[in-house]
Amino acid sequence: MTGAGPGDALAGAFEEQRGRLVAVAHRMLGSRADAEDAVQEAWLRLARQDTDTIDNLSGWLTTVVGRVCIDVLRSRKARPEATYDDEPPELMVIEDADAAPEEDALLAESVGLALLVVLDTLGPSERLAFVLHDLFAVPFAEVGEILGKSADAAKMLASRARRKVQGRRPADEPQQRAVVEAFLAAAREGDFDGLIQMLDPDVTWRSETARGVVVRLGAAEVATRVQQGARAVVTSRPALVNGKPGIVTWKKNGKLAGVMACTIADGRIVAIDSVSDPRRLAAMGVTSPEAPSSK
């Protein structure tokens, strides 16, 4: 049996970095598919590179992925319709007790839908500087090299981005949970007026169904659909969905009916991303409650 060749060794070294690279690209681009594409492009470039010229493989790959992400973000700015908002984002569900453990809350915040929404308000260079330094602890010297700027310039970009993120941070966790619980209570009671009170007048609901993506606009339309859907639901429970309060629902036959992620501002729900496609729901691995409510 012959030993592994140089190509196998390179592929193995790359695979060791893949998880981290996908995580970086996902925070940058907000789309798992786009993140995978960016990392694949990094692999193609690595395969063409003379690896003897690479002193630090991890840093080299981070640089390539960062620059690919910058190109994608700048392309989005030129064609704003080509953003991750064109498709429902991946939803990560964590059962929500009265409060999540501190470490779970911190992890959820780093990958949450709300943070992606805020990051989308940043310029490409600001976003890269903030994500790489504040979320992945990449030194400013390396961030500056990726951007073609000095370390001080990269530090200024990250600082500016940090102020924007902090200034647009949504309501804190207890306030968000209270809004979602009030919305859930109104849904259980079929209280149309109560639902309206919890919804921003211009709320947007993007739902991935078995037939495709359905978009509903406005508080009245969303509240009406929630009323109709509540009749088929036997159990609804709060959950952390993409790090923020959301809702998981089950049908009367015990099957998972849907998962909703809510974005909240000024005490009202301004956006809902949900999944009711049975195939997507099955892949989430959310188990049914042991004792369904009679409501």
Q: How high is the pLDDT of residue 122?
A: 81
Torsions phi, psi for 286 (to 5 deg): -85, 120
Q: How high is the pLDDT of residue 155?
A: 94
Q: How many CB atoms within 10 Å of residue 159?
A: 15
pLDDT for 83 beyond 70: no
Burial 234-256 (b: 16+ CB within 10 A, else e): bbbebbbbbbbbbbbbbeeeeeb
- H or E element at residue 239: strand 233-241
The mean pLDDT of the chain is 77
Domain ranges of the chain: 6-85+122-167, 87-121+170-295
Q: Do domains 6-85+122-167 and 87-121+170-295 have the same CATH topology?
A: no
Residue with more model confidence, 133 or 168: 133
3's CB contacts (< 8 A; 6+ apart) are none
- H or E element at residue 260: strand 256-265
Q: What is the pLDDT of residues 170-199, one digit of tens each?
A: 546 677 888 888 998 888 888 899 999 999
The conformational region for residue 30 under phi > 0 = left, psi -120 to 50 = alpha, else beta, is left
pLDDT for 228 beyond 60: yes
Looking at residue 84, what DSSP letter applies? G
Looking at residue 80, what DSSP letter applies? T
Q: Which amino acid is at 160?
A: R
The least confident of 28-37, 39-48, 162-171, 231-240 is 162-171
Under the banding of pLDDT at 50, 70 and 90, the label for residue 39 is very high
Q: How high is the pLDDT of residue 75?
A: 82
Q: How high is the pLDDT of residue 214?
A: 85
State the average pLDDT over residues 263-287.
80
Render 163-222 in DSSP notation, one character per residue. Answer: HHHHHT--S-HHHHHHHHHHHHHHHHHT-HHHHHHHEEEEEEEEEEETTEEEEEESHHHH
Q: Are 125 and 132 in contact (CB under 8 A)?
A: no
Q: How many CB atoms within 10 Å of residue 126?
A: 20
Q: How many CB atoms within 10 Å of residue 152?
A: 11
In Å, how far from its chain's centre is CA 214?
19
Superfamily of domain 6-85+122-167: PhyR, sigma-like (SL) domain (1.20.140.160)
Under the banding of pLDDT at 50, 70 and 90, the label for residue 153 is very high
Residue with more model confidence, 229 or 276: 276
* Cα gap 26→96, rounded to integer Å: 24
* 3-state SS, residue 97: coil
- Looking at CATH, the fold of the domain delimited by 87-121+170-295 is given as Nuclear Transport Factor 2; Chain: A, (3.10.450)
Q: Are 215 and 204 in contact (CB under 8 A)?
A: yes
Torsion (CA) 221, 226, 227, 228 in degrees, nearest 10 = 90
Under the banding of pLDDT at 50, 70 and 90, the label for residue 43 is very high
Instruction: Tell me the whole-structure pTM to 2 decimals.
Output: 0.51
